Chain A
Amino acid sequence: MMTDHPFDDETLMAFADGELDQATAAEIARAAEADAAVAARIAAFRETREIARDALQDDASVSADLRASVQRMVDEATVPVTQTVPYRKAGVMQPRATRWALPLAASIALAIGGAGGYFAGFQSSGDGNAFDTAGLSVPGLSTALNTVPAGQETPLGEDRFRAIATFRDADESLCREFELDKTDGRSIVAVACRPGAVWDVQFTVVAQRADNGYAPASSLDVLDAFLTARGAGEPLPVDAEAAALGALAR
């Protein structure tokens, strides 16, 4: 048993890194005392850790320029911001075309081909249930689209619906960008338009929301590409949005 120790490299590494529970750690400590080979392997893991740390110290040097530039950003950002929709407030969509000039097709391929754990889907019009895709078959979605003003949230079943912006596309159809936070940690970024009497979901990106709530920025880039291709206009101001939504109720 002593020469043929049962611990694999990963366990010994976890021991060296202090990642093991107490019981296992104690067991390994005993094994290391009894078997020099085990001790040597643990020591090697400790050593590689130190070597890596020392070797990369120089990379941590921050130039005065970089530091100053970030400090400036920080100073500018400390002006209090009202938080409605943190990373994408209504009205932040403006420089779309300049920000992201990729052809739409390329962007879609990139989203679908990407390994990043999100997927983009485009719903063709005329389907029986346009919402029945990517977790959007949520009761009350149409009502929420009809009523919730941009920047506001509402619970939708177990999900959270958040209206981001309202705009008109190149055909003057009313469109709404919104997000749906699912309970399973996914966040759906979507655009629905209303060319006729019903909402038609035309774009969805499903992003895995992190524990920290940070949705991959790439999903929003893909959205920007879609909006650009769609000829989306600027987000409607509050009163214009209210009028447009009010007209739906009639």
Chain B
Amino acid sequence: MADTFGQDLVGLLPNLRRYAVSLCRSPDRADDLVQRTCEKALASRAFFKPGTRLDAWLFRILRNTWIDELRRERVQGTRIDIDDAQDLPGTDGPSRAEDRLALSAAGAAIARLPDEQREVLVLVCVEELSYRETADVLQLPIGTVMSRLARARQKLADQLGINPSDERSSSNRKPR
């Protein structure tokens, strides 16, 4: 049996990195995260079911790794150097995320989204996972995925001035 697992893994590095950046919002940390994800993936490759999407499986590992890291940092908070602290996610909210993500208006708008909405947006719209696959990666009900995704895109559309004639959003606005 030809073993393409390793090459498939390398081939998905761009996708892994993109997802990692969207989670930790720092290029350096994203690289570390991708690296650790690959280590874990290689160690637990026996769990990968051939015929299923490798990218979705890897995203799941990456996300679990990231969550573990955040927990660890939370408990070890006092040990983190000041120098590293500026890389900490979630400490100063969207403004830093804006700096770090793409400079375009769209990138900035995506960066302003709440983490849980951005994550769903990235998995579905950028990585092209199905709703079901996304729900599996995030371990969420599919309905939650859909509502977060719809909200994320609505916000994006609002901020980028798409769909200004949407009767729904205009009817929600207060009359001048």
A41-B163, A218-B71 known; A78-B6 Cβ under 8 A = yes
Q: Is B13 an interface residue (CB 8 A)?
A: yes
A37-B167, A52-B126, A75-B6 known; A83-B46 Cβ under 8 A = yes
CB proximity of B88 to chain A, nearest CB, Å: 17
**B166 / chain A contacts, CB cutoff of 8 Å:** 37, 40-41, 44
What is the bound-complex CA distance between A86 and B45, given in angstroms?
Answer: 8
Chain A interface, number of residues (Cβ within 8 angstroms): 58
Q: Is B96 an interface residue (CB 8 A)?
A: no
What is the bound-complex CA distance between A107 and B76, given in angstroms?
Answer: 11
Q: Is A27 an interface residue (CB 8 A)?
A: no
Interface string of B13-25 (1 = CB under 8 A from A): 1110110011000
Whether A48 and B60, one on each chain, are in contact in the complex, defined by CB atoms closer than 8 angstroms, is no
Q: Is B97 an interface residue (CB 8 A)?
A: no
Whether B107 and A73, one on each chain, are in contact in the complex, defined by CB atoms closer than 8 angstroms, is no
> Interface on chain A toward B: helix, strand, loop, or mixed SS?
helix
Whether B6 and A56, one on each chain, are in contact in the complex, defined by CB atoms closer than 8 angstroms, is no
Q: In the complex, identify which listed stretch (A60-68, A131-139, A143-151) lies at the interface while the others stay far away.
A: A60-68
Interface string of A1-44 (1 = CB under 8 A from B): 00000000110011001010000000000000000010011011
What is the bound-complex CA distance between A58 and B72, given in angstroms?
Answer: 29
Whether A62 and B17, one on each chain, are in contact in the complex, defined by CB atoms closer than 8 angstroms, is yes
In the complex, number of A-B residue pairs with CB atoms less than 8 Å apart: 176
Of B34, B35, B110, B146, most A-chain CB atoms within 10 Å: B146
Q: Is A213 an interface residue (CB 8 A)?
A: yes
Whether B150 and A9, one on each chain, are in contact in the complex, defined by CB atoms closer than 8 angstroms, is yes
**B47 / chain A contacts, CB cutoff of 8 Å:** 86-87, 212-214
Whether A55 and B107, one on each chain, are in contact in the complex, defined by CB atoms closer than 8 angstroms, is yes
**A159 / chain B contacts, CB cutoff of 8 Å:** none
**A127 / chain B contacts, CB cutoff of 8 Å:** none
Whether B40 and A217, one on each chain, are in contact in the complex, defined by CB atoms closer than 8 angstroms, is yes
What is the bound-complex CA distance between A193 and B7, given in angstroms?
Answer: 43
Q: Is A243 an interface residue (CB 8 A)?
A: no
What is the bound-complex CA distance between A17 and B40, given in angstroms?
Answer: 32
Whether A19 and B131, one on each chain, are in contact in the complex, defined by CB atoms closer than 8 angstroms, is yes
Q: Is A102 an interface residue (CB 8 A)?
A: yes
**A94 / chain B contacts, CB cutoff of 8 Å:** none
Whether B60 and A212, one on each chain, are in contact in the complex, defined by CB atoms closer than 8 angstroms, is yes
Whether A212 and B52, one on each chain, are in contact in the complex, defined by CB atoms closer than 8 angstroms, is yes
**A75 / chain B contacts, CB cutoff of 8 Å:** 6
What is the bound-complex CA distance between A56 and B60, given in angstroms?
Answer: 19
Interface string of B123-141 (1 = CB under 8 A from A): 0111000110000100100
A19-B130, A53-B126, A208-B139 known; A59-B18 Cβ under 8 A = yes
Interfacial residues, chain B to chain A (CB-CB below 8 A)? 3, 6-7, 9-10, 13-15, 17-18, 21-22, 30-31, 34-35, 38-40, 42-49, 52, 57, 60-61, 64-65, 67-68, 71-72, 74-76, 101-102, 104, 106-107, 110, 121-122, 124-126, 130-131, 136, 139, 146-147, 149-150, 153-154, 156-157, 160, 162-163, 165-168
Which 9 A-B pairs have CB atoms at the shortest separation, nearest pair first? Answer: A74-B6, A86-B46, A44-B163, A213-B47, A60-B14, A55-B106, A59-B21, A48-B153, A52-B125
Interfacial residues, chain A to chain B (CB-CB below 8 A)? 9-10, 13-14, 17, 19, 37, 40-41, 43-45, 47-49, 51-56, 58-63, 65-67, 69-71, 73-75, 77-78, 83, 86-87, 102, 106-107, 110, 114, 116-117, 208, 210-214, 216-218, 221
